[in-house]
Amino acid sequence: MSWKQAAAYCRWAGGRLPTEEEWERTARGPKSTKYPWGNEDINPLRANYEESSIGHPTPVGLYPSGITPEGALDLLGNVFEWTSSKYSERTKTYVWKGGSFNYSGALARSSVRTFGEPETQARFLGFRMATSIT
């Protein structure tokens, strides 16, 4: 799904794409850990990434041991997630967060950021909808 498609769906559903900062805060939790579950290294019981050897996206919720203290599932691995944040002001690209099933565990950390053009579509790319707390 492209950034444009993800953003349009979020608007239609009454939400929005999270900013990079919101995504990372959710992934790091209130204690600002390296991973959603804490500082213990990633392993195939916590996320779908290259070393898990699954080779495709999986339904959200298959990795309950990778949950955040606040209840968010599958923030690392599975698919990179679009954010609403531009990678830099000089480019027309948007930040991806979280790693993917076909990328190394080295990229499946809360702090890692990469990017793509808004028209980019790939099976390793998805999104998560955010809403504002009122």
Q: Domains, the chain, ranges and CATH?
A: 3-126 (3.90.1580.10)
44, two tokens: 């195939």
CA 85 to each of CA 12, 21, 44, 69, 126: distance values in angstroms, whole numbers, following the listed order: 19, 8, 29, 24, 15
Q: How high does pLDDT run on average in the chain?
A: 95
Residue 48's CB is within 10 A of a number of other CB atoms, namely: 27
pTM of the prediction? Answer: 0.93
* Beta-bridge mates of residue 81: 97, 126
Query: Looking only at Cα atoms, what is the longest distance across the chain?
Result: 41
pLDDT band at residue 89 using 50, 70 and 90 as cut-offs: confident
What pLDDT does 115 receive? 96
